[in-house]
Amino acid sequence: MPIYQLFATTPKAMENILAEELQALGISEVKQTMAGVAFQGDLETAYRTCLWSRTANRILLVLSSFDVKNQEDLYEGVQRINWFEHLNPEDSFAVSFSAKNAPAINNTHFGALKVKDAIVDQMRAKFNVRPSINTGQPHIRVNVYLHGEIAQLSLDLSGESLHRRGYRDINIKAPIKENLAAAMLLRSGWPHIAKQGGSLLDPMCGSGTLLLEGAMMAADYAPGLLRDYFGFIGWKQHDAACWKKLRDEALQRKHAGLEKLPVIVGFDQNRQTINTALTHIANAGLQAKIHVERRDIRDAAPADSWKPGLLICNPPYGERLGDEAETAELYKIFGASLKAHFIGWKAAMIISDPELGFRLGIRSQKPVTLFNGALECKLLRMDIEESAFFVPKAKSQEERLKQVTATSAEPEADAGAVMFANRLKKNVKKLANWAKQNQISCYRVYDADLPEYSAAVDIYQGDQTWVNVQEYEPPKTIDAHKADQRLAGLLAEIPKVLGVGRENVFLKIRRKQRSTEQYEKYGESGHFHAIEEGGCRLLVNFEDYLDTGLFLDHRPIRMMLQQQAKDKRFLNLFAYTGSATVHAAVGGAKSTTTVDMSNTYINWAKNNLALNKTAGGHEFIQADCLEWLANEAAQAHCRQYDLIFLDPPTFSNSKRMEGIFDIQADHVALINNALKLLAPQGVLYFSTNFRRFKLDGPALSASNIEDITAATIPEDFARNPKIHYCWRLFK
């Protein structure tokens, strides 16, 4: 058999896990790169990797590499391959094209078309017959990756991502993909524990992904056995005999492995997800091997007959709409359950916020970084022993705020506080004139300009002046007393520089790694104040929530909406407190529809609109925006709007939503559904504050897309140009 250059792709941060897996499959020389591993092997090696890899996404067989300085180079490089060696003229194929730092071709859709044309033109010239395009299950799938001026042309032997094992109901979205679950299990030592006969328990099992991946590992069950389609099945050089031999061998290993499977159990409090897990278990043929039942985390305990093993789970992240306190309490309960029932076990869990892991009260090993979609997470691994438990002593935010506020009454006068005061004076002098000229009453005057004083300071002017201060939580490496002193100095200088009373300065602590902190509840004061923006009156609250109810960086977008809303039908999705709705209504919108999941914010939006005397019809809908939008878009005669504002969260796995939402992974479906509701000649504004976001323009059904980010970053946020991204989409 000839030796091929091969490349296995994998999610970011899983390269080393994949490399170890390939070495375990007998591949001696592997080379890790970003999001993949390069290796060599014959066709049997390639097939074996497709069948057995638990962490790879795709296996690519490299056909050639060539320089691309313009589009003609790409076309000619593809044509140098004799495609008749790979497919017949009447066969089908598909093309995937990606590029990075490629000046010649940076539009992936155009690149894919150029590759397709090169193949079709060659086959048509030779045989007067052109192969067809099939994006579902083509005979071959061609992959081109253009990095700078070097293109790598490959055949995708996997056909579709290898994380799709074949047991999952494709209509059900999982919180984690199968290969991420496999990576968690591998890094938690599950294969060794399983060989020792240890049990596997997921006390929050959801749709059963961790249980199924754990069972397949323990049973020596090849993850590709359930799949009936791979990218090499229709390839002209496919070796059917070799593939049959490998599948037969895998089937024998599976049957032998299932005979010695250890105890594998899942609990979940949700009846619907238990039913989903049972369906997936049956699809994998493991219904007699995995036990799941409805049980609350408070009642999670092993049976006396179970041998101690691994407890592993993907618990809630608490990312939206006031879930934080509830989620923190859940982790505290979970930690107590581990201490009460699981001494002698090992435990592992993936979390997005290390603070939640601290709530468990258990010392862990060095965390492993993994990515759940675009969200960076940490895999915590723990030995459940009496000596591993501790009582969390971290101050609550409320305790810290009280302490710092008291300290600020007589702050220590130091050079740092004076430096902060001078910087604040300089910023105010510059921005006050700008704000006055542009009739802006609420704006940011300081945003972590000095690293030692890491906070944002916003001025709000109404019938009086208020100052909202948000401290960016200091890292654990900073001495807590020193951090408190600096914050106290900051709070002491602000009233002096800005000429406001201490009672009008409000402080909040913004924790890191939170995507929707504006929803966190701080108090129940119910104190609202009216401010004015662009002729609109809006209510803000400085005490009860982390954010005030008005995102200042969106001011230019709101003004655009107001200027364009006259006689338009306006839709505000993920509306928060409805400030964009107010701007559209004041701008003369014919009608407005405001959609948000939270009843609190829907009522806030209604009160905002009531402050402004506007004409037109106004509709408020409390609903999961994703579900509402999908349902409306699916209607034969769906609603139509002339102007839409879409500003979704970065990530959410709220229990109020079905499944999880990841802006990077899910934005195409979300935007395309919104575009279905957009009337001809309508305009959709899409905004996100996810700093690493990449818009997949070719996959969107818009007639034209404009990046207007630069035009929507206001002067007071110029120091932070990545505060948000914004696009204008036309239909």
pLDDT at 513: 41
- 469/510 Cα distance (integer angstroms): 10
Exposed/middle/buried for residue 306 (C-beta within 10 Å: 0-12, 13-18, 19+)? middle
10 Å Cβ neighbour count for 483? 18
- 575/525 Cα distance (integer angstroms): 23
3-class secondary structure, 561: helix
CA dihedral angle for residue 301, residue 304, residue 309, residue 310, rounded to 10 degrees: -10
Cβ atoms 693, 664 nearer than 8 A: yes
54's tokens? 């638990």
| Alpha-carbon distances of 695 from 98, 383, 662, rounded to whole Å | 13, 42, 13
What percentage of the chain exceeds 70 in pLDDT? 90
| Alpha-carbon distances of 391 from 317, 343, 358, rounded to whole Å | 22, 17, 9
Mean pLDDT of 487-496: 90
Of the listed ranges 71-80, 416-425, 640-649, the least confidently predicted one is 416-425
Q: How confident is the model at residue 515 (pLDDT cuts 50, 70, 90)?
A: very low
pLDDT at 708: 97
Instruction: Please name the residue ranges forming H helices in 499-551.
Output: none
Is residue 654's pLDDT more than 60? no
E strand or H helix that includes residue 470: strand 465-472
- 318/326 Cα distance (integer angstroms): 8
553's tokens? 């960086």
- 134/138 Cα distance (integer angstroms): 5
pLDDT at 483: 76
pLDDT at 205: 95
Of the listed ranges 48-57, 85-94, 313-322, the least confidently predicted one is 313-322
pLDDT at 652: 73
Cβ atoms 521, 451 nearer than 8 A: no
Three-state secondary structure along 573-601? ECCCCCHHHHHHHHCCCCEEEEEECCHHH
- 360/357 Cα distance (integer angstroms): 6
Is residue 478's pLDDT more than 60? yes
pTM of the model: 0.64
- 19/29 Cα distance (integer angstroms): 9
Q: What are the tens digits of pLDDT across the range 147-206?
A: 999 999 999 999 999 999 999 986 666 679 999 999 999 999 999 999 999 999 999 999
Mean pLDDT of 226-254: 97
299's tokens? 């009642």
- 7/30 Cα distance (integer angstroms): 9
- 221/227 Cα distance (integer angstroms): 13
| Alpha-carbon distances of 515 from 55, 133, 727, rounded to whole Å | 27, 40, 20
pLDDT at 615: 85
- 122/101 Cα distance (integer angstroms): 29
Mean pLDDT of 5-29: 96
Triad 278, 282, 288: Cα angle to 5°: 90
Mean pLDDT of the chain: 90
pLDDT at 115: 97
Q: Which residues contact 587 (CB under 8 A, 6 or more apart)?
A: 561, 562, 563, 564, 565, 566
DSSP assignment letter at 297: G
Q: How far is CA 21 from the centre of its chain?
A: 26
User: What is the phi/psi pair of residue 621, to 5°?
Assistant: -125, 120
Instruction: Please name the residue ranges forming H helices in 260-360.
Output: 271-283, 323-341, 354-359
- 537/571 Cα distance (integer angstroms): 20
In the block, residue with structure tokens 């996100």: 688
Going 528 to 529 to 530 to 532, the CA torsion angle's sign is: negative
3-class secondary structure, 730: strand
Q: How confident is the model at residue 399 (pLDDT cuts 50, 70, 90)?
A: low
E strand or H helix that includes residue 184: helix 178-187
3-class secondary structure, 128: coil
E strand or H helix that includes residue 18: helix 15-24
Instruction: Find the largest Cα–Cα distance for the chain.
Output: 88
Q: Which residues contact 668 (CB under 8 A, 6 or more apart)?
A: 696, 699, 700
pLDDT at 320: 41
For 491-581, list the strands marked E by DSSP.
Answer: 505-510, 529-533, 536-540, 569-573
10 Å Cβ neighbour count for 538? 28
Q: What are the tens digits of pLDDT across the range 602-630?
A: 999 999 999 998 888 999 999 989 999 99
- 47/244 Cα distance (integer angstroms): 10
Residue type, 207: S
Give the domains, in start order, of the chain with CATH numbers.
4-156 (3.30.2130.30), 178-224+245-388 (3.40.50.150), 395-513 (3.30.750.80), 528-731 (3.40.50.150)
- 16/511 Cα distance (integer angstroms): 30
Is residue 537's pLDDT more than 50? yes
User: First-to-last CA distance in the chain?
Assistant: 53
Is residue 511's pLDDT more than 70? no
Q: Among 366, 22, 371, 347, which Cα is nearest to 185's?
A: 347
- 555/723 Cα distance (integer angstroms): 12
Q: How confident is the model at residue 519 (pLDDT cuts 50, 70, 90)?
A: very low
Highest mean pLDDT among 245-254, 365-374, 479-488: 245-254
